[in-house]
Structure 1
Amino acid sequence: MKAAILFGALSLLQRTHGRRKLQGGTFTPAQLAARWKSVYTLGTLANWRSAGRGPNFIKVAGRVLYTRAAVEAFERAKLAEYVR
C-alpha cells in the first residue's frame, strides 16, 4: 500500500512540476549532507526544515526529498551571498 501511495504522489509531482522526471533528480537528507560533505549536516538540514529555511523540500509518504532544482537554486543563492 505504501508503494502505491508513493507512486501516486510521485506521479502527481511529475504532473505538477511539468514533465521533469523526479527519479534521479531528488536527494534524501543523507544524500544531500553527503553532497555538502561537512559544511551542512543532517542535523542542520532537520533544523532548517523545522524553521522553514534551507532548500525547499517535499514530503512523500513520510520521506523528505529535495529536488535537484531546489538544491541547485539554494546553492546558487548561497554562492551569491559569499560573492557579494
Structure 2
Amino acid sequence: MEYHWLKTFCVAADTLNFRKASEKLMVSQPSVTVHIKLLEEYLGTEFIIIKVFSKSNIEYIPSDSSVILSIIILCLNLFRLSTSKQ
C-alpha cells in the first residue's frame, strides 16, 4: 500500500469530487482514479461510487464496511501526523 493512495482516497472522500481532489493534490484527475483503483485492488474490495445529483459528486459505499472503517482510521492517523508536523 502506498501513502499517496491513502492520501488521494482521504482527499477524494473529503471533497466528494475527483476533480476537486485532483486540484487539491496537484495531480491529474486520471491519477486520482488510478490511485483509488490501486487501493481497491490492494485491499481486495471495490468501492461502489454513487453519483449524487451531479455527475461530479461522489459518495463512497464500500462493499465491505470493515475495510472502509480501516481506511477512515488510517486517514485520521495521517491527518493527525500531518498536522502535528506543522
Instruction: Give the structure-1-normalised TM-score.
Output: 0.31
Considering fraction of residues, name the structure with more helix: 2
Instruction: Give the structure-2-normalised TM-score.
Output: 0.30
